[in-house]
Structure 1
Amino acid sequence: MTLLNLILTKTNLINIKFSGLKGQALVINNKDIPSIKQFKDVIPNHYFKCNTIISLSYLLQTALIQLLVIAIGLYIPFTPKMIPIWFIYSLLSGTTAMGFWVIAHECGHGAFSKNKTLETITGYLLHSLLLVPYFSWQRSHAVHHRFTNNVTNGETHVPLVIDGNGVTEKVGGEKELHFSNSIGKNNYGILQLVLHLIFGWPAYLLTGSTGGIKYGTSNHFWPIKPFSKALWPSIWTKKVWISDIGVALTLLGVFHFIFKYGFFPVLAIYIGPLLVVNCWLVVYTWLHHTDSDVPHLSNKEFSFMRGAFLSIDRPYGKILNFLHHNIGSSHVVHHVCPTIPHYHAKRLLS
């Protein structure tokens, strides 16, 4: 019996329809949802412990792969006729660089090392290099975990509601449905895909796009007016400014290389792959929390465990799971216990 089956048996979930890497949400009656204590009690303690050496080995693995890809890229001429090749390079380099994002994500959850100084520095550097404000995202992502699929307090992927009341629910659902029907659902799906992949991540960082009504228009770089301050209470306002320093230093480095080597080499080696990283991030988070069978719950219906179980695991194949440290295929476990490192979460599902 696998550890996952043991967990399901001990928490009375063995006969529940669950994702099983098939892209379906867990279908659980409220009476069958275990408490987080029940869930954790059947997981051996060592699964909750992060090992600094193992975590650093995964960081080294990602770094070596990325350096190899960059080394290959440096042999490609920076000429207009090579643009198709550079497009392919961006897809490859951005796909491998997504591994850094996942490791920074683990740092933000406290799942990288028992040495919290090392963990914070690692996450801060990695996210800053990817133009992500580390502490800002750490805070907003923690809120996302706390209120997953909550239609009022959810921090991301909160849908518009048909006949929404504008107080606890976002409005505009009927207009969006009408627009979808008027252009056809396939065309609507393609449009949403393009908009999400190109504009989704910057729109989220700059305006809190897809967030719940509670947080208003938030900005991960500017925690004060004219933007909403709801996401950044007390000490977090200062941490947002600290996050901005890392992003600003990275941008200074980018401009330095542009002035020294020209725009095209920087576009080819850094900007293009970064856009692909952002696309991967949107794809993963979108598919983690969106499907036709995934409900969004009112405060009355919501509980932490029910929201966590509404996350979705999907099959991404061995290569992507290797490069991206299984972020897409062990997401339900991650939402229940986000401090479990990815290498232990993988074992829970094996």
Structure 2
Amino acid sequence: MTAIFEPSAKAADVNPYGDLTLKQVIQTIPKAYFQKDSRKAWTAVLLSVGTVALGYVAIALSPWFLLPVAWFVTGTALTGFFVIGHDCGHRSFANRRWVNNWLGHIMFLPLIYPFHSWRLLHDIHHRHTNNMEIDNAWAPWSQEEYSGAGGFLQVVYQSMRGWLWWLASVAHWGALHFDLRNFEPRDHAKVKRSIAAVVIFAAIFFPTLFYFAGPWGVVKYWLMPWLGYHFWMSTFTLVHHTIPEIQFHYDDTWNEAEAQLSGTLHCDYPKWIEVLCHDINVHVPHHISVGIPSYNLRPAYAALKANWAPLMKETRFSLDLMRTITGRCHIYHPEQAYQTFRDLGR
């Protein structure tokens, strides 16, 4: 069941799904795994707040040569803030909507992420996962889209699909989440409130940090941990749905069950990362149902494997994995999932 990276392997030779529906897959997950547990939920909040606080203590006390380690660990802990806000956005943290909304905003503020903007755009990704025409998360460009783009955009796309993948979520954050044109008019009031919350936070936080710590303090205490968070934001979201065996589809061939079950990759990371990031890497059950809280993802994944293992993909995070993804998963191919930039010139 581990993903095999064979250059000759085709991602869409056989369609094993037939009439399989997502509802049938959901029914194989025990109902207990959909239940919220307030103790586990708030323990996760305390874990993230505690580790982020310790991270900033480490940044304050570390000599210069240990700062990169402190930044990276703190950025990883800040990713836990995002995952908690992520559960809030899916209403899987608490039963009360106001709790989800307030906590989601609080968790996202240090990341300068407008909560409702992210929530609404992320819902589109879940409803249309791996759909070439609608998905807004790491859908590859078609050959026609790439050829029609200007030289500058081609360079940017090549960089984001290559060894600068870890900056892609910064571009995604800035380009999509603050533009009202990306949202339905009925949602504009919510989006404006979230953007206003971020602007007010930034207007207070950054001048205060600059006043007390100077420009280096802004870099040291905010920018570098924030980039550490975006390393994981980019990496997790890329790996979730991108290997040479995962095929994106256009509307006429897109299948919901295939997209969520086989088009989502389980990837094991070092344990400390999984703990600080609340098992966001156990992503298949989350795409089967967003109602499963993060602390129930592992047992839900085991239940899915017991029923659907031949249709699932899993791998382990490594330099080789990222080399494969960034070296081969460039441009959409209708039969082999991807072609490389080099292939286009042949």
TM-score range, shorter chain: 0.7 to 0.9
Q: Give the TM-score of the pair, scaled to structure 1.
A: 0.76
Equivalent position amino acid for 2:277 in 1: H
Q: 2:71 aligns with which of 87, 90, 93?
A: 90
The RMSD of aligned alpha carbons is: 2.8
Using the TM superposition, name which of 337-346 and 36-45 deviates more: 36-45
Once the two structures are TM-superposed, the CA of residue 107 in structure 1 deviates from its matched residue by 0.8
- The count of aligned residue pairs is 292
Decide which of 201, 220, 235 is 1:250's aligned counterpart.
201
Query: Runs of 4 or more off by more than 4 Å in structure 1?
Result: 17-20, 24-28, 173-176, 188-191
Q: 1:121 to 1:26 in 2, by over 3 A?
A: farther
* Cα shift at 1:18: 6.8
**Bigger RCO (CA 8 Å, 6+ sep):** 2
* CA distance 1:28–1:93, change in 2 (3 Å): farther
Look up the SS of the partner of 1:136 in the other structure: helix
Paired letter, 1:322: V
Tell me the TM-score normalised to structure 2 length. 0.77
Classify the secondary structure of the residue corresponding to 2:17. Answer: helix
The percentage of counterpart residues that share the same residue type is 23
Corresponding residue of 1:35: 21
Write the distance in 2 (CA, Å) between the matches of 1:222 and 1:110.
24
Within a 5 Å distance, the mapping from 1:1-350 to structure 2 comes to 17=1, 29-32=15-18, 34-76=20-62, 82=64, 84-162=65-143, 164=144, 170-172=145-147, 192-198=161-167, 200-207=168-175, 219-223=176-180, 229=181, 231-252=182-203, 253-309=205-261, 310-328=263-281, 330-350=282-302
Gap regions ≥5 residues in structure 2: 303-346
1:25-71 per-position Cα deviation (integer Å, ceiling 9, x unaligned): 99973435632221222222221122222111111011112222222
The alignment partner of 2:266 has SS state of coil
Q: Encode CA deviations 1:101-144: one digit per residue, 9 max, x unaligned.
A: 11111111111011221111111111122111110010110001
* Equivalent residue number for residue 226 of structure 1: none
Which has the larger share of strand? Answer: 2
Which range moves more in the overlay, 264-273 or 293-302? 264-273
Q: Distance in 1 between matches of 2:38 and 2:101?
A: 13
Amino acid aligned to 1:293: E
Structure 1 gap segments, 5+ residues each = 1-16, 165-169, 181-187, 208-218, 224-228
Report the Cα distance in structure 2 between the residues aligned to 1:65 and 1:156, rounded to whole angstroms.
28
Are the aligned partners of 1:18 and 1:27 in contact in 2 as well (CA < 8 Å)? no
